[in-house]
Structure 1
Amino acid sequence: MIPFNKPYLTGKEAHYMYDAVYTGKLSGNGKFTKKCQHFFESNYGFRKCLLTTSCTDALEMAAILADIQPGDEVIMPSYTFVSTSNAFVLRGAHIRFADSRKDHPGIDEDSIESLITQKTKAIVPVHYAGVGCDMEKIMSIANKHNLLVIEDAAQAIDSYFTFSDGTKKALGSIGHLAAFSFHETKNIISGEGGLLAINDDRFSKRAEIIWEKGTNRSAFFRGEVDKYGWVDIGSSFLPSETIAAFLWAQLENLENIQEKRIAIWDQYYSGLKEWAENRNVRLPFVPHFATNNAHMFYLVCESVEQRTEIIERLKSKSVSAVFHYLSLHKSPFYQSKHDGRELSMSDFYSECLVRLPMYYELTEDNIDLIIGNITR
């Protein structure tokens, strides 16, 4: 059996988790939390980082920081996970769903400006498969209309965007705020887990308060105030030290993990390229301004029937391949709230995209078997 995903252990996770237990500091914001946050700040240029219990929590923190109020509008792709939308709907926002690009499941950047109204508060690009949206274009639109940009970088660890002047920046460091995921299906994992990256200093102080259940507890422990209390809204967003300890073991091995995943991705691509061209199947596209962090390898089929046939054929050989998102604008919860626009590319990816197994321990023989059963 070749599963779709298998969590990878570096070998240090249990040791660091025991270390966290042994220190007697388990409730969060201890040494492993600080080590992880410093890693992201120093390696990727995020102004301030806060670990969270999930990417969903990081997005919910971003929605609070953006001061989303009932009736505000937020623009995001329909082809995304429900957490992207839920975080803002919980604050009372109306979602203006955008379509996907024709060459990639990410948001169609050229459609964004037409969706902006006087009620628009934020744009939430989703870096699908870890491949960056055109952040130069998105930031230009946001600056023109005085909007916030919140990057949903759940899949985008260790991936970059290159601006037209040659400047290269990590995804998650460009927008005002960004959210990452360390769910077990991601490149770097902690079971569940997430990160809020704060790139605009005006949000830094409040983010820490929201993170600490609406209190100024962190400032108290730094000696900045003589007591702490309830000063704002917030929730229990910070993870335990055991989660941070697990994550630290992964971060120490980031380079090795990424090298292996990219090698797997490249083997898929080279083995499927000729077959895909002959069958009118599209392989993953990486725009010139983006890098590939090998989060995912997918096929875009001609039809839902072709996709179903591939999934069933692989299943008969004990290989698990799966489809991905269903368009949120057609979901049972939001269909009646959508403005009725057709989002044809989002629906196309919902019906025709299939993801192949992608995890560190896939062997070359495993991949050759998968490729052989697709191309036969």
Structure 2
Amino acid sequence: MIPFNKPYLTGKETTYIEDAVTSGKISGNGIFTKKCQFFFEKKYGFNKTLLTTSCTDALEMASILINIKAGDEVIMPSYTFVSTANAFVLRGANIIFADSKEEHPNIDETKIEGLITPKTKAIVVVHYAGHACEMDTIMAIALKHNLFVIEDAAQAIDSFYKGKALGSIGHLATFSFHETKNIISGEGGLLVINDEQFGDRAEIIWEKGTNRSAFFRGDVDKYGWVDVGSSFLPSDIISAFLYAQLENLLDIQQKRKAIWNTYYEQLKPLEKKGLVKLPKVPENSTNNAHMFYLVCNSNEDRKGLIKHLKANHIHAVFHYLSLHKSPFYIDKYEGEKLVNTDNFSEVLLRLPLYYELSRNMQEKIIQKINEYF
């Protein structure tokens, strides 16, 4: 079986884990945590970063930081993972779902302003497949209406919008290092704090609502409970694993992009025949090769292709189900039909893409896709 995903180890993960263990400190905010945070801040120009145990936790921290409370409204795409919404629902927010663009699952920026009310507190954008949303327009809308922008950049490491790293543009941003992402630590995430007003409080929320980090820096002579918070920081063992991955970021990205480009070039004839659509990278975005997907012409085509690939020992998978139609939210949703969101939920299919996908395996996948059509 050719799996949809296979976690890649660069070779130094266990070495760095052993280093963390022998250092005598494997709880949060250790040597490797600091190394990872410095890496992100230096390479991508992020103002301040905090590693978290997941992207979900980073989103929950963002929700706390902007003081989401019952009755607040948060605008976001419906075509996203449940964590994007849950982080704000947990604080009492009402989610206002926006449609995707016709040619891309990213939020349609032209639909955002019409959803803003006096209760709107924030816009959450999701850079689907590592492709940038139209951030200039979105930031201008946020400025006009005095709203916060949070970038859910779970899939968007090492991708850029007009030369700016994704995650560096909004007031806050979050990343994922889940095993399905380009850079992994099993589970793991990152909160990016671009707006300096949130820096000190973010550290407190990160450390269970205490000023413990300031104490260990020597900024205060004792620490105590000063705000709400939780245990959002990861063990330094997780950070050690992550740091080995970050050291190999360039190599991993080059390999993934080569695989993505092969898919694109060899499946282009199917698109020319009108049998599928290939990913459209937005004009102002780079492509970090997080995923390669096909947009089938119908749900029946997608089901048939999945079945055909499975019969040939290839695991291809669909992606998100529209959140506004989910069992939890369907009775709460009062908005318009989200035609593009529902279409992507019905017809988008993701193909295997991981570092150790060999040329022979990829050729088999492409051959079997062509065979089906």
The TM-score range, normalised by the shorter chain, is over 0.9
CA distance in 2, matches of 1:42, 1:317: 45
In the alignment, does 2:288 pair up with 1:293?
Answer: yes
User: After superposition, what is the alpha-carbon deviation per residue over 1:10-30, rounded to whole angstroms, capped at 9, x for unaligned?
Assistant: 000000001100111010101
Paired residue for 1:316? 311
Matches within 5 A, 1:275-354: 275-354=270-349
1:173 matched residue in structure 2: 168
Output the aligned Cα RMSD.
0.5
- Aligned residue in 1 for 2:263: 268
CA distance in 1, matches of 2:25, 2:245: 20
* Secondary structure of residue in 1 paired with 2:6: coil
For residues 58-86 of structure 1, give each alpha carbon's deviation from its aligned partner in whole angstroms, at most 9, with x where no partner exists.
00000000100100000000000000000
Is 1:240 the counterpart of 2:235? The answer is yes
CA shift digits 1:254-289 (9 cap, x unpaired):
000000000000000001001122133110000110
Structure 2 equivalent of residue 44 of structure 1 = 44
* Aligned positions of 1:136-151 closer than 5 A: 136-151=136-151
Per-residue CA deviation, residues 307-335 of structure 1 (Å, 9 max, x unaligned), is 01111110001000000000000000001
1:82 matched to 2:82: yes
Q: Matches of residues 145-164 of structure 1 in structure 2 within 5 Å?
A: 145-162=145-162
Q: Which amino acid aligns with 2:300?
A: E
Percent same amino acid among aligned pairs? 70
2:343 and 2:272 map into 1 onto residues whose CA distance is 19
- Residues 110-149 of structure 1 aligned to structure 2 (within 5 Å): 110-149=110-149
Choose 115-124 or 274-283, whichever is displaced more: 274-283
Task: Compute the displacement of 1:336 (Å).
Answer: 0.9
TM-score normalised by structure 1 residue count: 0.98
Aligned-residue offset at 1:374: 0.3
Output the CA distance in 1 between the equivalents of 2:307 and 2:272.
21
User: Does the 8 A contact of 2:97 with 2:335 survive in 1?
Assistant: no
Equivalenced residues, count? 371
Matched residues in 2 for 1:343 and 1:280: separation?
24
Structure 1 gaps, min length 5: 163-167
The Cα offsets for residues 200-234 of structure 1, whole Å up to 9 and x where unpaired, read as 00000000000000000000011111100000000
Per the alignment, in what secondary structure is the counterpart of residue 37 of structure 1? helix
- Give the C-alpha shift of residue 341 in structure 1: 1.2
Give 1:340 deviation, angstroms.
3.7
TM-score computed with the length of structure 2 as normaliser: 0.99
* CA displacement at 1:184 relative to structure 2: 0.1
* Unaligned 5+ runs, structure 2: none
Give distance in 2, aligned partners of 1:308 and 1:154: 27
Residue 71 of structure 1 aligns with an amino acid whose one-letter code is: G
Aligned residue for 2:273, secondary structure, equals helix
In 2, the alpha carbon distance for the partners of 1:247 and 1:277 equals 41
1:189 to 180, 184, 194: 184
User: Within 2, Cα distance between the matches of 1:174 and 1:340?
Assistant: 28
